[in-house]
Structure 1
Amino acid sequence: MKNLVILAGNVGNAPETRTTQGGTKITSFSLATSRPKRDGEGKVLKDEQGRRIDDTEWHRITCFNGVAKSVADNVEKGQKLMVTGRIHYTRWTDQQQVERFGVEIIADEVTFLSYGKSRQQQGPTQDNEEDDIPF
C-alpha cells in the first residue's frame, strides 16, 4: 500500500523555517486548493454575478532538509505550487489534558508552477535561462 498525496494550489502564508537541535531544517506553509461547489444535481453553483462558487480547503505542508531550504528561499504567499508527498496524522495531549489530533502533508517534492510576486515584478532578465522556473 502507498500513502501518496498530490496537491496543486496557492500558498496561503510566507513559509516559516526552523532548525532542530540536530540540524534538520524544517519549513512549513499552508496551501489552498479549490474545487467548484455543486448542487444536488451535480451542477456548478454560481453567485449573483455568474461567477463559479468554490469550496476551498487548507492544507498544512511540512518540508525537510533540501526541500525545506528551496521552499524557504523561493516561495512567497500567493505563489502556485504542486506538492507531492504523504499524509501524516499526529495525536497529542495539550496542557489542559485534552487529546488533540492534527494532519499535515509531508512534502517529498515541491514543483513551482509560478513565480512569487516579487520575482514577477522584477521583469524579464537579459539571460533567458534565468526566466525559467529554477526547480
Structure 2
Amino acid sequence: MAGINKVILIGNLGKDPEVRHLEGGASVAHFTLATNDYYKDKQGNRVERTEWHNITAWRGLADMAEKYLKKGQQVYIEGKLRTRQYQDKDNQTRYITEIVADEITMLSARPSGTDGPSAPEQATAAPVTFRQEPELDQLPF
C-alpha cells in the first residue's frame, strides 16, 4: 500500500509571495504561513504559540499567488510535506522542510490599502480556490 503525505493548514501569510520565473516558463512562489495554537500554562494563563510554515507553489498556483496573495491574508493550503537539501554560502549542507501546495483557497479579501488587482470573486466574500493541475507523470493510471 502506498503512503499518504497530506498537509492541511489555515493561517495568515507572513509575507508577500516571492516568485521566480524559471527557464522553460515554469514559475515558483515561496511564502510563509503562520498558524496559531493556544493552550493554558500551569498558572492558568492563556498562551499563544505561532508556528511558521514554508510554502512553495508551482506553475499556475505560483502565478495566482503572485497576482492575488498579500501579507496578512488568511488562506487554506492543501499540499504535501517535502524536505530538500541545499548548500549554504559556507558550503554547508542545509535542510529545509516545506509544504508544496496543491490547493490554495483565499479565505479573506486582500488586506485593505494594498495595491494591485483583487480577485473578482472576493467582492462576494465567498472563498476562492485555486488548484494545481497534476503533471502527466503524477496521474494514478
Q: Please, what TM-score do these two structures have when normalized by structure 1? A: 0.78
Residue 9 (structure 2) pairs with residue 7 (structure 1): yes
CA positional deviation for 1:129: 8.4
Partner of 2:25: 23
1:26 partner letter? V
Unaligned runs of 5+ in 1: 47-51, 121-126
Task: Give the residue type in structure 1 aligned to 2:79.
Answer: G
Match of 1:56 in 2: 50
User: Identity of counterpart residues, as a percentage?
Assistant: 34
1:22 alignment partner, SS class: helix
Within a 5 Å distance, the mapping from 1:1-135 to structure 2 comes to 1-39=3-41, 45-46=44-45, 52-118=46-112, 130-131=123-124, 132-135=126-129
- Quote the offset at 1:130 in angstroms: 4.1
Q: Distance in 1 between matches of 2:87 and 2:111?
A: 40
> What is the CA distance between 1:97 and its match in structure 2?
3.1
The Cα of 1:22 is off from its aligned counterpart by: 1.7
Superposition CA RMSD, Å: 2.5
| Structure 2 gap ranges (5+) | 115-119, 130-141
- Residue 23 of structure 2: SS of its match in structure 1? coil
The aligned length equals 121
Residue pair 2:12, 2:33 contacting (<8 A) in 1 also: yes
TM-score in terms of structure 2 length: 0.75
